[in-house]
Amino acid sequence: MTKVSVVIPVFNRQEKTARAVASVLAQDVAELEVVVVDDGSETPFTLAEVDDRVRIIRHPENRGAAAARNTAIREAAGEWLAFLDSDDVWLPGKLARQLDFAEADAAGNGARPPACYATGFVLGNPATGKRRRLIPIESGSASDFAAACWFCPGSTMLMHRDTARAIGPIDTTLPRLEDLDWFLRFGLIGGRLKVAPFIGADIEVGHKPDPAKLDIAAAALRRKWLAPGRGERLPAGAGRKLAAYLQLEQASARLAAGHYAGFAWHLARSILLAPRARLHLRPWWRESRPGLSLDPSIRRDRFRR
């Protein structure tokens, strides 16, 4: 059986996706496959060199990242599922070390409770050149999963395929925040986030969020989780945290778009819902020392072709 299936959705990112795939193929895990789902790219994604470990599945039209990930999860042959965004890269040794961490945790718990295993990551901003080394906090609280998606982007996540099946498909009706919804559902089935305390991926800050799409997603999530008759599914206090976080996401989108009045309005509403003196609802990360990386000398350009 294939040990790990690596899920990579792509839309119009030929060069960056090739670099992401190369970073996976450089991992020292023998039994792995890479499932690339080309979500209707204008020019179909291809690799310069054929590798039997890589499967490319093409959607005839663009259906969104959630649909692409669902396709990959459904088609994956691996016992474990790992996720990587097409503009990010893994650092050498990441997968083997993370897999050891996950299997040791599962063995120590006897039965396999729903769990997601993350690592730290380097978060780089091409616009500013600033790079932060972040280690997410661990949590087993559904209320935390309602209050942030702090361990995403998902390029460090690893979970058993049974866990993904227990959560169910990613919601393809959401134009944004589908990861928040998926992991809220993960939290509600008793899911735990466990973090291997090393830097495993180099993450590139993505494009600026579209405020209109964010508003559509936030409204859909309010109907889904906060409308009368739905909120009882959430733990006490989780609904208010979710409402505050959605306002924070809407504020962030407006700040990125230069809509400062809208930013202030949504931020104020978030703070009214969850009073605090910080931007986020709680501290979600700690800064990592350089010695915690697998190899501080490794840079993204190691994987350039």
d(CA 251, CA 271): 11
DSSP type of residue 242: H
Query: pLDDT (tens digit, 9 = 90+) per residue, 145-174?
Result: 999 988 877 899 999 999 999 999 999 999
- Residue type present at position 266: H
pLDDT at 51 over 70: yes
The predicted structure's pLDDT at residue 151: 81
Instruction: Specify the pTM.
Output: 0.90
Q: What is the mean pLDDT of the chain?
A: 90
Give me Rg for the CA atoms of the chain: 19
pLDDT at 268 over 50: yes
The predicted structure's pLDDT at residue 295: 42
Q: Which candidate, 265, 270, 200, places its Cα nearest to that of 242? A: 270
> Within a 10 A sphere around the Cβ of 207, how many other Cβ atoms?
7
Q: Which domains does the chain have, with CATH numbers?
A: 4-207+288-303 (3.90.550.10), 211-273 (no CATH)
